[in-house]
Each structure stands twice: as structure tokens, then as C-alpha cells.
Structure 1
Amino acid sequence: MIIQIMNFHFISIIVATFYQVPEITAFSFNDVRNHLGTRTPYRFKYNKDDSRIIFPGCKDVRIWMIIRHGTRLPSAEDIVGINTLRDMKHEILLSHKKGQGELNSEQLKRFDKWSSNIVVEEEKYLTHEGQDEMILLAERMQKRFPNAIKSKYDNNTFYFKYTATQRAQQSARYFTIGLFEKKNAQTVIFSPANKVDPILRFYKHCDKWQKQVKKNPNTYKEQKLFGDSRTMNDTLEIVSRKLGFDKVLSLDKVNLMYVTCGYETSWLKHYISPWCHGFDKETAEVLEYYHDLKHYWMDSYGHNLTYRQACMAIKTMFEDFKKKNYPHATFLFAHSGTLLKILTHLQLYKPSAPLTADAIDKNRTWRTSDIDCFASNLAFVLYKCEDGDKVLVLHQEKVIKLPMCDHELCPLADLEKHFYESIYNCDYSDMCSLDTTDT
């Protein structure tokens, strides 16, 4: 399947006022923007050092990489919600004219200029920033591993696959532009996308997980408790007062502002979303934790089945490394839910205790703002070394040491031994089928 390069234009992604003279400022926004959860921009989190990664006596020969799509537009539900903020914007401006609220003149100017005309038909489309993320990511990875990632395209050397979504398909397409430039990228062959994909989106068709986890009200118990907590109520009061409201805004409204702040921060490098002005570092951390509770219990360590099913991806990676006549560079384009479950399967970023509504663990390693921003990615690089095959793992382009390894460059044989169950006893049908006691 050949994807042709075409000019992709988002008619209504951002209103014209967003493209005025870039606004660059310091203030507390620099704190807020690092706590935007799964909508955190990739440009705040990736490893900027793109120099070649060399280990004496070793040569990089293969790479297997799974990538969350780049920055996208909101879901249809969020688009509708964001468009309703136009009325709230006028309330904020009116309140400050009456002497209420804590925003300064520059912040009020940003509210005055703000508008949103995103159409529901473009829900979850990849944005221009998302395109750039993919191009630049590809360029950097090729510089780090020039032997495994050749500069010239060959269908026998490269394998590309994406889920059956516009954002994943477009992410893959722009990634190839970064590897081969636009002219040569037109010849790239992509593996056909499957609506049912047990490797790239295994959780979507795992019936048992859908029933026992995603659609189980208990999965969201901690998030709901935290949403009703004193900490959250205090946060709602602070945000409401700062914006000049007489009454305390609902969690839904404040959350919508937080979400909008995240999207608009991700879309544009030099634009400051006025909706970020409702927060400071402390209040942003509260909303961040509110979302982390949901993802922890739905996509991570909260339930055993959630990360067990990720064996489908891990198994494929090991199998691909062992095949003799197989592409040296494999690039797979998926989603947040995929990456979080694989990270958990690898036992990465496990908190010292389960996340609960009782208190925010500000020192937790499991924080979606850090580990699951837009364009988050995980790469396994196979090195042929004088003393055997070894694997290097990178998360968001940063070299990491797996918990079961003694060093960053880990013997392949040791990993295969540790993940024996994932490789040889990964029965997806048995794991995900509902039996009579489940229905």
C-alpha cells in the first residue's frame, strides 16, 4: 500500500488570531505547561542530544520502535466543549471590568483575542505540530543509529505500520519524510492497517479487558473520589476566584479549561493559551493527578490483565529480532493506551504504592505528563557485540535501564529469559475471551 504525499490543510484548527506575532514570555506558564498530562507537548520532554550512540565493540543492526501519534485535534466531545468556552471568555472579561479576578492586562488581552472554530468533522486529526514532531523525531533517530536506520529506502530494509486512524497514518507518513525526504518518501510502502490489530491496539478487542477494566465503574473509583475531595474543591475555588467568578465553577468546567490549555499549548510553539492563566503549578498538578488516577487504573498497574495483554507487542519485538530475513528497521504507529500498557509490561515507572485519592504523590515516577506526552515513543535497538547480542532501550529518545537489567545495554538472552512467558505463553484469545462467569 503506497501512501501518496498530499498537502494537508486544517481549515479550522486554529483561528487567524493565533498566527499573529509570536508571544514569548516566562511567568508561571512555564510551570503549568509541564503538567498537562497526556496532552503535554513532546517538545518539552524529548532528548535533544541526537549524536550517534556508540558502544565499543558493538554495532547497531536493528531497531524496533513503537510511536504514539503526534499532537492531534481533540475528540468530538472536547471540540464541542471547547467551543462553548466562548461564552465563559466573555464572562471573565466582564468580571474583570467590574474589578473582580486576578488576571493582568496582558492575560486579559489574550482572552479578548481568543476564539475557537474547530469542526467536529476533524476530530483527532493530526496537527501541523504533530507533523513536525514526526519529521524531526525520524531525523534524530537516524542520526543516532545510522547503521540500523539507513538513509536510503528499501522495502526489504524498512517496515512501517499504523493503526486504522487518520492520526496514526499521517504520523507514519510524516515520519518517512523525516527519514527519506518528501520526494523519496512517496515510494514508501506501508503495511495495510487493520481495524482489528492485536499488536498495535490489542486492548480494543480484548473483550475481557473491555468488560472487567474499561467499562467497570470500579476502575474510576479513585478518580471520582479525588474529584470530590477537599483538595479538588479548594482548587476549583482558587481557579474560580482567579478568573473573577462569584460562584465556584464545576469540575467539568475547570477540567475543560485545563484540557484546552493542554491542546492549545501543544498545537503552537509560541502561543500562550489564555486558558492556562486560570492555573498555577499547584492547581495544574491537581488536575494532572486527577487524570493520572484514571490512566493508572485503566492503562497501567491498576489491573493485571491491562499490562499482561501487552505481551502481544513484546512477543513480536523479540520474534522480529530473531528473524534472519526481516527488515532491520521496524516503525509502528499507535496510541497512548498502547504505549502505557507496554511501559507497564516492562515494569517501568512503577510507583512505590498504588495511586489513590488520599493524597497526591508529587514525587511519583508514574506521571503521564512525563511518560505519555504526545508523540511518546519506545525504541528497542539490537546491537551485535563481540560478547553477544545486546539490546538498548530508549523512551522518548532517552536511554533507559530496564529494571531486570544490570546495565543499559542488556544481553538479549537475559531479556528473553525474563520475558519467557510473554514470548512463548502469550495466548491472546485465552487471555481476552469472556467465559460464562464473565458475562
Structure 2
Amino acid sequence: MLLHSLFFFYITFNSSLSIIIEDISKHLGTRTPYRFKYNKEDSKIKYPHCKDTKIWMVVRHGTRLPSAKDILGMNSVLKDLKHEIMFQHRIAKGPLNSEQLDDFEKWSNNLEIEKEKFLTYEGQNEMILLAERTQKRFPNAIKKEYNNNTFEFRYTATQRAQQSARYFTVGLFDKKISQHVVFAPATKIDMVLRFYKHCDKWQKQVKKNSSTYKEQKIFGNSDLMNKTLESVSQRLGLNRTLSLDTVVLMYKICGYETSWRKNHLSPWCYGFDQNRAEVLEYYIDLKHYWLDGYGYDLTYRQACILMKNLFERFRGDGANATFLFAHSGTLLKLLTHLELYKPERPLTGDSMNKGRAWRASDIDCFASNLAFVLYKCEDGDYVLTLHQERIIKLPMCDKELCPLATLWDYFKDSINDCDIGDICRLN
């Protein structure tokens, strides 16, 4: 009888933990684990009378460590908050159960500032498995034998992008062969993979423009956000209401620590249920919508440089397989240039748009990726587009398998007028 009761408790507790992980982990914004988002079906993608011949793919780096600022926040704000939570429960003022308290008791931060934003083991694994699945889907475009003339690998001058590229090649070939892969030299100023970083006009008129963050600020001061801050504080057993900055830090670390390890929920997630996580998710989405998305034409106009690179590879005689390893800002601007995930109306801070297509948790989680595959068919050249390894239909195309000529006609003006120096010049 005792054994049966213990077994029932084990199943009940682990099932509820799974529900918590399931409910929250899909709403962690740009720190959402990729394992909750990718397409697990990896069989060869075939079309009658067609053959996959080329692939061009942009990959956001895999799961990484926090920024120096967030590591410092873990060492100070969250370390003190942990002790406050434990104290409140010792005097029987908190609602957390013994397992949750045990997780807080064990929680510590030993991250080194020098390793800020470094790729994690989970990030390495994400890249290896992503490469393996992609090769299975498109075995003609991605040969198992490495040839420097048919493969192109490029990454930004960051540890997380460089290591993501290297582990991706381990998945494509093997560890031994990957040691001989040639990568394009990473440059500090990269006008293809990180064009926005060096676009003076965008830096001034968008990134450093206070109006860019106006809607996020409005939502941060809303009644819904104030109620969320109260709820999070109460769920942790505190006798005060936490600040927005502290709750945002908790939300970020909840995402990081949950992404790093499978079947693990960071104790900092205990402050959130799905509804409260979605409020924080929208708060972050407002920032990315106005900073990296549809908020300003200049933001996504710059991404013409990536479209130019794509068509040069597909219409030229270069590499059959091109893999570019970059960042959240790169991917979001490209998605916007392609007119994907555009909300019916601009995102604003006066109300929460629950049905929006623009949701970073779905479109820009860790290891997010966008791939274009060129198919040579009996009646011409076609392009298949995949986002998060799922086939998607581009808005300017009638079908998922879209004629290359259709895409070229649609984007040729932006590509022919893609003078980054002119686009980014301050008047």
C-alpha cells in the first residue's frame, strides 16, 4: 500500500512538473528552448520530377549563457531574493512546496563574467542534431562528403556563432572531418551577417530612439503588468511587490536555465504560471517588434543584403550548401523583409494582442533557423522555404514550392537598390 502511494505521488508530481514545463517553456521569448519548437519529422522532402540541388540557411546560434549584466544580476539581485524567499517560507509565509524550496536551496550561480554569452553544451547539441536532420531532408543538396568548393560556412566574430558553426559541421560530417572544414574569416565589421550593427542611420533613428521603446514602456506601466508583478511576488511568498526590472530578470534566467538542461525547470520559473509568462512574453515582443521588426521601414530594408546573398548563390555557380551563423537581430529582420509573421495591426502597449503572429517564442527561440532550398524540376527552378525546420508558404507565393522567377521578380527592386552604404548613411 505504501509503495502504491509513493508511486502515485511520483507520477502525480512528475506529471504536474511536466505541465509546468510545458506551459511556461513555450513562452520564454528569445530564450525559449529549441527542443520545444523544432520539427521532429526528418525524412527526405521529395517533390515529383524535382531534385533538391542547393540550400541557403541562416541559423541563430544555439543556447547560450547570459550577458555580463544578467550574470551580475544573478550574483546580486537574485542571490539576495533567494534568501528572502527562503526566509519567508521558514516563517510559514510562502506557498512553495518542499520540492520547489529544495530547488531554490540548491540554486547558486557560479558563472564567470568572462564567459558571457558563450555557447552551452545544450547549444552544441542543438547544432549537431539540426545539421543531421537537415541533411536527411535534403541529401542531394547537402552531400555527406565535405568539399570546400560545394560548402560555404560563415559566422560572426562571436564565440557563440563560431562554435555553433563548428558543431553544425560535426553533425553534417563527423568530428574528425569537421576539423578540416574551412570557414570564411570572421570580421569585426560584417555587413552581411550583422549589417544593423554598423548601420549608423538605424543605430541613431531606431536603436537609440526613445520612441522605439514607447509601446513597451506603456505596457510596462499598465494595470495588467502591475497585477502580474503582484502575482509573481505572491507566488514566491514575498511580503512586497517586486519591481519590473527584477521580474524581467527572473523571466530571463527562467528561460536560460530551462534551456540549458533537458527536463529541468529553473526555480525562477516558479513565480510564473502560463498567463503571467505570456504577459512577460508580450512585453519582450513589443521591444523586438519595434526594434527588429515592422516598427520602422529602415529596420527590415537593410535585410536586402541577405536576399542579395541568397540569389547570388542560387543563380550563380558557387557553393551548393551555404550556412550562415548569426543572431536574433539578423533573423528577425530577414523574416520581416520576407513579410512573415506580420500582425494585422502594429503591436501596442495599451492592450495585449494574444492572437498575434509576431511571437518571439515561436519565431526566434534559441537555434532558430530559416532555410531556402532550390529544386531543379522538369518545368523550371523552384524554392522551398522552411522556418524552424517546417515548410512555410511565403506571402508572395501561391504555393509552398515557389518558382524562383516569382521570388526574383518580387525582390529584384529591393536587391538592385541594396546599397547598404547609401541606406545607412546619416544625412
TM-score (norm 2): 0.95
CA distance in 2, matches of 1:363, 1:167: 33
| Structure 1 letter corresponding to 2:351 | A
Partner Cα separation in structure 1 for residue 375 and residue 69 of structure 2: 45
Structure 1: distance between partners of 2:18 and 2:324: 37
- For the residues of structure 2 that align with 1:26 and 1:271, how far apart are their CA atoms? 9
The CA distance in 1 between the partners of 2:134 and 2:19, in whole Å, is: 33
Map residues 251-400 of structure 1 onto 2, 5 A cutoff. Answer: 251-324=244-317, 326-400=318-392
Is the CA contact (8 Å cut-off) linking 1:315 and 1:423 kept in structure 2? yes
Question: How far has the Cα of 1:28 moved from its partner?
Answer: 2.4
1:131 to 101, 107, 124: 124
Q: Within 5 Å, which residues of 2 pair with 1:79-228?
A: 79-84=71-76, 85-228=78-221
Give the CA deviation at 1:420: 1.2
Task: From 64, 68, 77, give the equivalent of 1:76.
Answer: 68
**Alpha-carbon distance, 1:82 to partner:** 1.3
Q: Over residues 136-185 of structure 1, what are the superposed CA-to-partner deviations in whole Å (9 max), with x where a residue is unaligned? A: 00000000000000000000110000000010000000000001100111
Give how far 1:53 is off.
0.2
Q: Aligned partner of 1:105: which letter? A: S
Whole-angstrom distance in 1 between the partners of 2:407 and 2:264: 44
What is the distance in 2 between the residues matched to 1:164 and 1:425? 27
Q: Which amino acid aligns with 2:183?
A: F
- State the partner residue of 2:396: 404
Specify whether residues 24 and 286 from structure 1 end up closer, same or farther in structure 2 by C-alpha distance, changes over 3 A only. closer
Query: 2-side partners of 1:364 and 1:101: how far apart?
Result: 35
How far apart are the structure 2 equivalents of 1:420 and 1:60? 23
Report the alpha carbon displacement of residue 258 of structure 1 after superposing the two structures with TM: 0.6
Letter of the 2:379 partner, please give it: D
Q: How many residues align?
A: 413
Q: Which amino acid aligns with 1:164?
A: A
Question: Which residue of structure 2 lines up, in the alignment, with residue 15 of structure 1?
Answer: none
- Is structure 2 residue 50 aligned with structure 1 residue 58? yes
The separation in 2 between residues aligned to 1:374 and 1:419, in whole angstroms, is 28
1:352-409 deviations in whole A, cap 9, x for unaligned?
1000011111111100000000000000000000110000000010000000000000
SS of structure 2 residue aligned to 1:340: helix
5+ long unaligned stretches in structure 2: 1-13
Contact preservation (8 Å) 1:69, 1:374: yes
1:100, distance to aligned residue in structure 2 (A): 1.5
Q: Which moved more, 1:89-98 or 1:368-377?
A: 89-98
Is 1:29 the counterpart of 2:24? The answer is: no
Deviation at 1:24, TM superposition (A): 9.4
Per-residue CA shift, 1:58-114, capped at 9, x if unaligned? 000000001000000011001100122122111101101222122111111111111
Per the normalisation by structure 1, the TM-score is: 0.93
Match of 1:12 in 2: none
2:9 equivalent in structure 1: none
User: What stretches of structure 1 of length at least 5 have no aligned partner?
Assistant: 1-21
Report the Cα distance in structure 1 between the residues aligned to 2:349 and 2:184, rounded to whole angstroms. Answer: 43
Q: Taking every aligned residue pair, what percent have the same amino acid on both sides? A: 67
**Alpha-carbon distance in 2 for matches of 1:203, 1:218:** 18
Tell me the secondary structure at the aligned position of residue 301 of structure 1.
Answer: coil
- Tell me the distance in 2 between the aligned counterparts of 1:319 and 1:428: 16
Deviations 1:200-220, CA, capped at 9 Å, x for gaps? 001001100000000001100
Q: Distance in 1 between matches of 2:395 and 2:19?
A: 38
Task: State the superposition RMSD in angstroms.
Answer: 1.2
More helix by share: 2
> What is the SS of the residue equivalent to 1:419?
helix
Q: Which amino acid aligns with 1:69?
A: H
Q: Deviations over 1:216-249 (max 9, x none)?
A: 0110001111111101000000011111111111
Q: 2:411 aligns with which of 402, 410, 419?
A: 419
Distance 1:419 1:409 in 2: 17
